[in-house]
């Protein structure tokens, strides 16, 4: 974990309201693991008091850069989208517990992503595909919102779904998954509703969910981003104990 | 520059401390800097039993501020004594324990337990949490209840007792004077202001609790005004808080009548904020013509030459 001034080396629109940014630093990118996130300070004055947690989509250790993909949904993410090459952004990270990928060898692994829940799965797919057979099911609202289809296709058997049927499979990711055969493990990241459906549908195999919640400090001190666990274990802190959790441990 | 200050018999090497609820029990922030650099640490509120707090979402950003409705999530006073205080005992920094409860009896029980912990150097009575249904702010908006509770807690502790006041009242000085009469050794002010934010897509409140406490720079002018008002009526030490993000803000609080200053929300934006403010405070005081912290106090409290 490091607080570092990161330099914008790329920032462009990737899909509908969706941007891809590459940030260069000294230490933070090198430490980053799949599934972890970075907490970005927005603006230079005190208008924006909360950082924005953004998952890490890729890491280039030689270039010392990370790639993030974010959706513009408000003033803070709009500020991010207007950064130009050479601008500096204050980043805290990498934060949280990411995916434990080393445990898998020769497995058939399913990745399920929804919208801006897709990015952390790309970094995971790159690592997993070295030793496993990876299938990716990526859901988007509409064809204009799709990103990284070709990137995923190079490393995984990739399926795209759209809610409005404008591209790929028409319908929900869970409907498509039912027709895809069997897997040993799955990793999912996306809207809460999608995670809940996947959690229930794939309860017979080992699964990991990457959770999202409105965050405060990002380091486990403020208790803003909690998630209820099974077996009366109380809450976990998504920023510190997560964002990746065992699917059978949390109640969504 | 000498930044030391004594509040209610509690010597601090500098007037800066993280505010309760914004710093956990210190462990997370100890990874960023040495907690010995702080004037004091106000730890997260303790209740008798463990509390799960409110459903999520619990926070929402607003212009120059944020709303929170954590709902006093904490592991309970026994667990805090067992699991969290030993870590803080590794530091020389005075620890101020924040106490909350549903009933007077709960406050008294928690206070007497924490009073027995050598690592705790003062207590902060939380009668101003706006995010719980029972207890909390109901004690902080009625001078009679505030008096009774303060009186009861004061009876079970020998440590300095600060009462954290709610800004959600018509006349905050009435509450301040009530708790002073009840034996409070100092005041903490201000807690958050009750606010609400609506989610336009869902057409409903963004926080699961519907309302939350507004903090951050947005509330700083209210904190300054309230401290100034209360300072006209009492000589009790005041720990000022509400939207502090810089050494200039600290000076403003001190001039308004505070004796020490707590930093809350800004810890989320910059984990190093308390350390940075402490480092910048001497230069900031010099810039405005002061050669010590005591000189600032003289300008504000003892000799109210800035009276409006």
Domain ranges of chain B: 5-49+72-204+214-302
Half-sphere exposure of B5 (CA within 13 A, CB side): 25
**For residues B286-298, average pLDDT:** 91
Which pLDDT score is estimated for B306?
45
| Token pair for A75 | 């003033």
**Mean confidence (pLDDT) of chain B:** 94
For B130-186, the pLDDT digits (tens) are 777 666 778 899 999 999 999 999 999 999 999 999 999 999 999 999 999 999 999
B301 pLDDT tier (thresholds 50, 70, 90): low
Give me the mean pLDDT over the B198-220 stretch: 96
Cβ neighbours around B155 below 10 Å, total: 12
Q: Does domain B5-49+72-204+214-302 have CATH number 3.20.20.70?
A: yes
What percentage of chain A reaches a pLDDT higher than 90? 94
What does the mean pLDDT of chain A come to?
96
3-state secondary structure A43-91: CCCCCCCCCEEEEEEEEECCCCEEEEEEECCCHHHHHHHCCCCCCEEEE
- Please count the residue pairs, one from chain A and one from chain B, whose beta carbons lie less than 8 angstroms apart: 99
Contact A151, A113 (CB under 8 A): no
Q: Does B301 qualify as catalytic in the annotation? A: no
Cα distance from A177 to chain B (closest Cα, Å)? Answer: 29
- What is the band of A102 on the pLDDT scale with cuts at 50, 70, 90? confident
Q: Between B23, B58, B272, which is nearest A3 by CB?
A: B272
Q: Which of residues 33-72 of A touch B (CB under 8 A)?
A: 41, 46-51
Instruction: State mean pLDDT over B10-31.
Output: 98
DSSP class per residue in B218-272: GGHHHHHHHHHHHHTT--S-EEEESS--SHHHHHHHHHHT-SEEEE-THHHH-TT
Count CB atoms within 10 A of the CB of residue B289.
9
- Mean pLDDT for A233-250 is 93
Taking the C-alpha atoms of residue B265 and residue B96, their distance in angstroms, rounded to an integer, is 18
Cβ contact A224–B73 (<8 Å):
no
A3, A49, A225: residue with CB nearest B66: A49
The SS3 assignment for B208 reads coil
Contacting residues of B for A224, CB less than 8 Å apart: 56-59, 68, 70
**Chain B window 35-64: which residues touch A at a Cβ cutoff of 8 Å?**
44, 50, 52-53, 56-61, 63-64
β-bridge mates for residue A8, sequence order: A23
Q: Sign of dihedral through CA atoms B108, B112, B115, B117?
A: negative
Contact B239, B186 (CB under 8 A): yes
Gap between the Cα atoms of A139 and A197, Å rounded: 13
Note the pLDDT tens digit of each residue in B37-61: 999 999 999 999 999 999 999 999 9
User: Which of A1, A216, A240 is opposite residue B268, by nearest beta carbon?
Assistant: A216
What confidence tier does B72 reach under pLDDT thresholds 50, 70, 90? very high
pLDDT given at position B130:
75
CB contact under 8 A, A226 and B21: no
Q: B228-282: per-residue pLDDT in tens?
A: 999 999 999 999 999 999 999 999 999 999 999 999 999 999 999 999 999 999 9
Predicted confidence (pLDDT) per residue in A30-84, tens digit: 999 999 999 999 998 899 999 999 999 999 999 999 999 999 999 999 999 999 9
pLDDT (0 to 100) of residue B291 = 93
Q: What is the pLDDT of residue B305?
A: 46
ipTM reported for the complex, 2 dp: 0.94
**pLDDT one-digit tens code per residue, A114-157:** 999 999 999 999 999 999 999 999 999 999 999 999 999 999 99
Q: Is the model's pLDDT at B307 over the cut of 50?
A: no
Asked, as a colleague might, if the bond just before B234 is cis with ω within 30 of 0, I would say: no
CATH class of A2-95: mainly beta
Report whether pLDDT(A20) > 80. yes
Q: Summarize the confidence of residues A90-107 as an average pLDDT.
A: 94
Question: What is the CATH number assigned to the segment(s) A108-210?
Answer: 3.40.50.80
Residue of B nearest to A215 (CA): B59
B149: its two tokens: 């509770």
Closest chain B residue to the Cα of A47, Cα to Cα: B64
Chain B nearest-CA residue for A76: B61
Q: Do B29 and A221 touch (CB under 8 A)?
A: yes
Residues with Cβ < 8 Å from B144, sequence gap 6 or more? B178
Decide if A206 contacts A184 (C-beta within 8 A).
Answer: yes
**Closest CA in chain A for residue B50:** A234
> Domain extents for chain A?
2-95, 108-210
**The pLDDT of residue A111:** 98
Write down the pLDDT at residue A234. 82
């Amino acid at each position: 974990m490091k607080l570092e001034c990161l330099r914008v080396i790329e920032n462009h629109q990737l899909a509908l309201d969706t941007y891809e940014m590459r940030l260069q630093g000294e230490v933070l990118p090198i430490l980053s693991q799949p599934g972890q996130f970075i907490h970005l300070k927005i603006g230079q004055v005190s208008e924006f008091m909360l950082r924005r947690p953004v998952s890490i989509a890729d890491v280039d250790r030689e270039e010392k850069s990370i790639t993030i993909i974010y959706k513009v949904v408000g003033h803070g993410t709009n500020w991010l989208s207007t950064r130009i090459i050479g601008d500096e952004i204050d980043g805290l990270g990498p934060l949280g517990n990411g995916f434990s990928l080393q445990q898998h060898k020769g497995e058939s692994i399913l990745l399920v992503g929804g919208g801006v829940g897709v990015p952390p799965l790309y970094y995971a797919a790159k690592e997993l595909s070295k030793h496993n057979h990876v299938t990716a099911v990526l859901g988007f609202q509409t064809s204009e919102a799709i990103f990284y289809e070709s990137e995923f296709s190079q490393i995984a058997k990739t399926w795209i779904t759209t809610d409005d049927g404008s591209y790929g499979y028409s319908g929900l990711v869970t409907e498509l998954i039912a027709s895809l055969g069997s897997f040993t493990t799955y990793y999912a990241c996306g809207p809460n509703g999608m995670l809940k459906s996947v959690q229930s549908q794939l309860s017979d195999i080992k699964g990991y969910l990457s959770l999202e919640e409105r965050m405060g400090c990002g380091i486990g001190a403020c208790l803003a981003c909690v998630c209820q666990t099974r077996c009366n274990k109380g809450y976990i802190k998504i920023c510190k104990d997560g964002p990746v959790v065992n699917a059978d441990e949390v109640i969504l | 520059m000498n930044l030391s200050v004594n509040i209610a018999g509690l010597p601090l090497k500098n007037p800066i401390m993280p505010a309760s609820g914004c710093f956990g029990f210190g462990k997370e922030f100890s990874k960023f800097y040495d907690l010995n650099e702080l004037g004091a640490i106000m730890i997260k509120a303790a209740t008798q039993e463990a509390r799960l707090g409110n459903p999520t979402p619990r926070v929402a950003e607003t212009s120059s501020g944020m709303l929170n409705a954590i709902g006093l999530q904490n592991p309970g006073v026994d667990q805090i004594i067992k699991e969290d205080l030993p870590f803080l005992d590794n530091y020389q920094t005075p620890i101020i324990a924040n106490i909350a409860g549903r009933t007077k009896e709960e406050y008294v029980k928690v206070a007497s337990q924490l009073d027995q912990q050598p690592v705790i150097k003062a207590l902060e009575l939380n009668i101003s949490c706006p995010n719980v249904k029972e207890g909390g702010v109901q004690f902080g908006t009625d001078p009679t209840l505030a008096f009774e509770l303060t009186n009861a807690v004061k009876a079970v502790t020998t440590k300095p007792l600060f009462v954290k006041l709610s800004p959600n009242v018509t006349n905050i000085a009435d509450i301040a004077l009530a708790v002073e009469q009840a034996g409070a050794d100092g005041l903490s002010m201000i807690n958050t202001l009750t606010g609400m934010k609506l989610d336009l897509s869902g057409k409903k409140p963004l926080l699961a609790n519907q309302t939350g406490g507004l903090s951050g720079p947005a509330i700083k002018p209210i904190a300054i005004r309230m401290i100034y008002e209360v300072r006209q009526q009492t000589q009790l030490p005041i720990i000022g808080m509400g939207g502090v993000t810089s050494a200039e803000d600290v000076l403003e609080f001190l001039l308004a009548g505070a004796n020490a200053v707590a930093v809350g929300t800004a810890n989320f934006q910059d984990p190093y904020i308390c350390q940075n403010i402490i480092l910048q405070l001497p230069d900031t005081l010099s810039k405005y013509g002061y050669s010590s912290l005591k000189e600032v106090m003289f300008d504000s409290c003892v000799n109210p030459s800035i009276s409006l």
